[in-house]
Chain A
Amino acid sequence: MATDRKTEDAAPLAAASEPLMLVLDGFEGPLDMLLALGREQKVDLTRISILQLADQYLAFVTEARKVRLELAADYLVMAAWLAYLKSRLLLPAQEDDEPSGEDMAAALAFQLQRLEAMKEAAAKLFARPLLGQDVFARGAPEDINIRRKSVYEVTLYDLLRAYGDHRKRQEGGVLHIAPIRLYSMEDAVRRLSDLLGRMPDWTVLSSFLPGEEGGPLLTRSAMAAHFAATLELAKAGRVELRQDGAFAPLYVRRAQRAADE
């Protein structure tokens, strides 16, 4: 679902007031999706409401989790980032060296403008008269090589491809290994490490879990693996854990000291 990014059209989400259509096909990642949501505000991107955008996105993610839609990790990271942005925008300014909510919002707005500019540029580029489609070269070039230096038609691509093919053979070709149905702790450690590096603040551990589509066994093993992984990372001094009471949600964040090393 979330992983199919080849589809052509950005199937838009329904307007925020209506039930969210959970269509991820066609989005080239969370930023692309934010851009599509932003366009629905029908204002210039420079005047967009980042807060409203964050709410729409977070609503989408909540909805997705409700229907157990498997979300790629970068969508979850974006959700956490937006939640943090929201808190910084809404709460009174704090005395710390984190970027201000306004700065973060401006950065996001710039990012969206830049992406949109590139999408428009791509459209303009491909709207030009293209060689081999709109404009044609000599169809029957005559066999005259007037460039002395290229007797052999070898391009850099040919050269690199040859080396790539060679390395591929060396590495033993393609192996097909049946997927393992259990979530291992090593993977949970790796996934958490990757995600935590980008998480701005305390985050509920359960939000890191992959979806539940793989069946109960995989889900339970993922939960166990992620829990064990946080303990392992805490032991190594790389994360901090917080739980406000028995059976309360477990929060995790990157260890503040380790982060600076």
Chain B
Amino acid sequence: MHSVANFDIHYRQLLDAAGMPTGEWPGFGRDPAQLLAMYRMMTLCRVFDTKAINLQRTGRLGTYAPCTGQEATHVGVGAAMQADDVLFPVYREYGTQLWRGVTLAGIYTYWNGDERGTWFDGPRQDFPWCVPIASQMPHAAGAAMAFKVRGQARCAVAYIGDGGTSQGAFYEALNAAGAQTLPLVAVVVNNGWAISVPVAEQTAARTLAQKAIAAGIAGIQVDGNDIIAVRAVMEEALARARNGGGPTLVEALTYRLSDHTTADDATRYRPAGELEAAWQREPLLRTRHYLQAHGHWSDTQEAALRADCQAQVDAAVSAYQALPAASTDSMFEHLFAQLPHELQAQQASARHYAAHKG
């Protein structure tokens, strides 16, 4: 009996929970402007998220999936990507989307049950939110295949949750991307929970990064609350993919500091104390500590930033609430490039009842 293959899974952290650097930082880490841009975006996410929950509680938004606690992963990934890369989100990675140009009002519009929220003026090719868990993974592999067919130095970046790693589509897509050496980087956001199921019940795998081994691709674990490490790991993975080095699976260890969605009540299943402990590792505070310790940030600036974020969010709320209701027709408008003749009578019926509604 001899060994025919062996594997190591590495973990990367560059900024610890106290805000202390823990390793060699890449170039962007030495540029305060870049650090501040990322910190501002994380803060915007936090403010946006808080408002969204409030909007839902007061009946002005549908069920909403919060992002609090995961901002470093989301913004770090966004900052590492190039504009012409393509993002395949799940449903709560607003930090990446906002970084890439999706609007606050668009996100609210989406969660308010309106397809128009998926129209992205910014990243025109980015995919919209993907509700059927893991089904976005092959889309990303397909986009990566298109880049390969056309010889473009672009990457597809796909998100997936820890729960999502139980779905076949996740493995299938990684395996296919590995077999065809596609420029794909998949980010498992391991936030500890899939609604009420903790990750230890989702798999016997000690890490989710090791799922890369099944596909014969690179896998790495990163502190997902550490925006420096997330961005660094992503930049390396993206560069490798762009250079024909194939896909990478990045596991970002973070925590869902909120309920699963506003329709969920995590107190039903989450052990006491876990949430409080997780708040000690959250991403914003450690970044602020670092920035303040190095003289790049002050309490005054913080207050101004909060106010600015609030103003942006308030403007977005006004914008989505001012959007006139979609017409009933719109159900038929984008079904096909050209609506088949047979469906015109149905469209007329829908229009008729819309007019006589209420």
A binds B: no
